[in-house]
Structures are given as C-alpha cells and as structure tokens.
C-alpha cells in the first residue's frame, strides 16, 4: 500500500480512456496513470467485442472527418496485419485496407486481440510518463471542498493528482464521489423537456449484450454446441427469429448491400488473406436477438449485476445454438 502522485489519473482503460491517457501523456511535462480493473485495454474495440467501430461518413473518414490520433490507430492496426499476416492480392490492392470486411466505404472492423496488442504498444511507448496499472479497481474517492483529491484502489494504493477522468463504462466514480446521477429517462417534471415522458423510466437504457465470437468453418465439419438446458425459455423471452436448423439467412446479404447478419460485426474477411491464421471468416454476434431483454445494467447491486451478465451470456450461447 502506497500513496502515488501523478498529474492525471484516468480510471478505466476504455476506448476513450486509452485515448485520453495517450493524449495527456503526449505532453512531456505530464505524468499519467491509467487504472483498469481487467487485464484488457481498449473497451468496445477489444474486450467488449464490438469489432466494427462506430463510424459514419466513410467517404471522408480516412482523411478529414476524424482526429489524427484515430486515423493513426486504424493505420497502426493495418500495419500489424501487413507485418504479421499473409495478405492476398485482394487485400493488398484495397485503397484503404479493412481487415474485417473487404468492401469500400465500410466501417473499419478488426480482430479485438490485434487492436488490444496495438493499443498496448502505444501505451508502452510513452512509459514511464504513462503508466498502465491492470487489475486495479477504484473503491473510494476522496472529495474535499467539491474537488476530487485522490482515489484509492482495492489493493490499498492511493493515487493523488490534479486531474481525474472517469472513463469507466458505467460511471463507476459517480456514486463513490457522491455526485448526483441518473440513468434512463427522467420525467417531464424533472427537466421540462417537451419530449420527456410523464413518468421517469430508469430502465430505458440500451440492453446489455455479450458478443459471442464465431468462425465460419468449411462445409462438412460438425461443431454443434450442446443445447442449453433453458433454451426454450430463452428463445421465447429473446424472441429468436431463426427457423430451427436453417441458418442460411445468417449469411444472406441484407437488402441494399453486401452485408449479412454474420457480416455486421465481422472482424476477419478471408478474402483479404492468403490462408494462414485468417483463412476463415470470423464475426461476433452482437445483434438484436442477443440483446438481453430480461434486465439492464447497472442495477446498483454488484451481485445482481453479475446475475444480469450471466443471463446475457446464456442468451448469446442459446442464440448461437
């Protein structure tokens, strides 16, 4: 247990948290620590399996409508594949190489483990000015005269700084710091917003989804998973739409384009590669059918949160079945 001093403390190595830490540490006079409870950095683009990045305006995104650091990250991911995977002629001849979906003007998509590796290298390149502490969960926030002075982790270490950034996915520091917060939709009487509902609805938040990775294996192989014991109940509550035994629709292009249900979060497009580790298409299922319908996060109770995660995971396994 020790007290450590930094200029900036970033709590949560989410996609935004890593970006903030890199930006702060780019100043040679600023010392930064990035605290992350898990063993992965990169949030949505890595551990959360959101392999297709949330992009729009693809005709401009490569040159103008994004920050330079964001474009640098995409190009670093491209360089990783160029140096570590045998590219096909198709992959080499793309103007803007997209490892996940070989189609012009399609949002960037990449293997989460590759993005994690690239981000880890970028963080390490700024050491010791930027220090990454994995497995560190903030359990207390010290507030004096309306300002955060320090945070303490479960390991007993205290971090003192002039600037603290909460980059956690669920705003973990808000209740610890005693800051007023709400989730969902507030009532009209609370905000006077014309489109607000008459009653507050804290449950009106985006469903939690546990993306589940799939590989499109060659015909003739059998990789059938065991039917979950509670499959029928899950299928009803999740309103699965596939007909038993018929998965052709998963690979059929959706109206207006080349993308399919499988292609929506596809992160390896085998057309880009000359065999090797990327010989088959890979994707994550992160669609409406496995958006968990039974409960939302956060519940305010860690034990209940764990139950919600477990239920969401069961729903994804059932959807794959």
Q: In 10 A of CB 203, how many CB atoms?
A: 10
Task: Tell me the per-residue pLDDT of 218-250, one tens digit each, with 9 for 90 and over.
Answer: 989 999 899 999 999 999 999 987 656 677 778
Cα dihedral 128→130→131→133 (10° resolution)? -170
Q: Find where tokens 């971090």 sit.
A: 159
Q: What is the CATH number of the domain that holds 107?
A: 3.50.50.60
Mean pLDDT, residues 24-39 taken together = 97
Strands (E), 70-196: 130-134, 138-144, 147-153, 158-160, 163-166
Q: What pLDDT does 242 receive?
A: 65
Asked whether residue 167 falls in the same domain as residue 273, the answer is no
- Please indicate, yes or no, if residue 29 is contained in any of the structural domains: yes
> How many angstroms from the chain centroid is the CA of residue 103?
23
Q: Picking from 38-42, 115-119, 248-252, which range would have the lowest pLDDT averaged per residue?
A: 248-252
Number of continuous H segments (helices) and E segments (strands) in the chain: 10, 11
Mean pLDDT, residues 262-282 taken together = 93
Using DSSP, state whether 307 is helix, strand or coil: helix
- Please indicate, yes or no, if residue 186 is contained in any of the structural domains: no
- Please indicate, yes or no, if residue 197 is contained in any of the structural domains: no
Q: What pLDDT does 116 receive?
A: 97
Q: What pLDDT does 258 receive?
A: 74
Residue 212: beta bridge partners? 285
Asked whether residue 122 falls in the same domain as residue 222, the answer is no
Q: Find where tokens 């390149």 sit.
A: 125
Tell whether the model's pLDDT for residue 93 goes beyond 80. yes
The dihedrals phi and psi of 308, each to the nearest 5 degrees, come to -65, -45
Whether 96 contacts 62, CB under 8 Å: yes
- Please indicate, yes or no, if residue 221 is contained in any of the structural domains: yes
64 — pLDDT class (breaks 50, 70, 90) = confident
Q: What pLDDT does 298 receive?
A: 82
170 — pLDDT class (breaks 50, 70, 90) = confident
Helices (H), 93-213: 112-124, 173-176, 188-191
| Bridging pattern class, strands 32-36 and 130-134 | parallel
Domain final residue pick, 115, 148, 176: 176
Give the residue from 29, 11, 38, 26 showing the smallest Cα distance to 123. 26
Q: What pLDDT does 255 receive?
A: 78
- Please indicate, yes or no, if residue 128 is contained in any of the structural domains: yes
Task: Tell me the per-residue pLDDT of 52-63, one tens digit each, with 9 for 90 and over.
Answer: 998 888 878 888
Asked whether residue 9 falls in the same domain as residue 112, the answer is yes
Asked whether residue 245 falls in the same domain as residue 169, the answer is no
- Please indicate, yes or no, if residue 77 is contained in any of the structural domains: yes
- Please indicate, yes or no, if residue 103 is contained in any of the structural domains: yes
Number of structural domains the chain divides into: 2
Higher per-residue pLDDT: 24 or 244: 24
Asked whether residue 52 falls in the same domain as residue 141, the answer is yes
Domain limits at 216?
Answer: 212-320
Helix axes 68-84, 15-25, angle to 10 degrees: 100
Asked whether residue 29 falls in the same domain as residue 156, the answer is yes
Q: Find where tokens 């065991």 sit.
A: 226
Cα dihedral 12→15→20→26 (10° resolution)? 120
Q: What pLDDT does 245 receive?
A: 63
Tell whether the model's pLDDT for residue 257 goes beyond 80. no
């Amino acid at each position: 247990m020790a007290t450590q001093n930094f200029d900036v403390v970033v709590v949560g190595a989410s996609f935004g948290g890593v970006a903030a830490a890199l930006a702060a540490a780019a100043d040679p006079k600023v010392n930064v620590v990035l605290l992350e409870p898990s063993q992965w950095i990169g949030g949505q683009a890595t551990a959360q399996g959101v392999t297709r990045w949330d992009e729009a305006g693809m005709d401009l995104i490569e040159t103008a409508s994004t920050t330079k650091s964001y474009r640098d990250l995409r190009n670093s991911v491209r360089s990783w594949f160029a140096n570590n995977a045998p590219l096909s002629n198709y992959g080499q001849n793309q103007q803007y190489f997209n490892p996940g979906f070989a189609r012009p003007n399609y949002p960037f998509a990449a293997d989460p483990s590759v993005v994690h590796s690239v981000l880890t290298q970028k963080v390490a390149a700024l050491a010791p000015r930027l220090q990454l502490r994995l497995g560190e969960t903030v359990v207390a926030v010290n507030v004096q005269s309306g300002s955060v002075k320090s945070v303490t982790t479960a390991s007993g270490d205290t971090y003192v700084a002039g600037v603290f950034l909460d980059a956690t996915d669920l705003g973990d520091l808000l209740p610890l710091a005693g800051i007023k917060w709400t989730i969902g939709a507030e009532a009209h009487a609370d905000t006077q917003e014309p489109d607000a509902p008459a009653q507050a609805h804290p449950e009106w938040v985006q469903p939690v989804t546990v993306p589940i990775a799939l590989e499109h294996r060659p015909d003739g192989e059998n990789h059938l998973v065991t039917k979950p014991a509670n499959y029928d109940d899950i299928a009803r509550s999740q309103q699965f739409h596939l007909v038993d035994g018929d998965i052709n629709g998963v690979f059929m292009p959706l109206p207006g384009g080349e993308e399919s249900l499988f292609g929506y979060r596809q992160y390896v497009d085998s057309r880009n590669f000359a065999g090797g580790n990327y010989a088959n298409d890979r994707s994550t299922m992160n669609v409406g059918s496995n958006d968990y319908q039974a409960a939302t996060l956060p519940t305010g109770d860690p034990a209940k949160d764990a139950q919600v995660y477990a239920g969401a995971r069961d729903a994804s396994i059932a959807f794959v079945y």
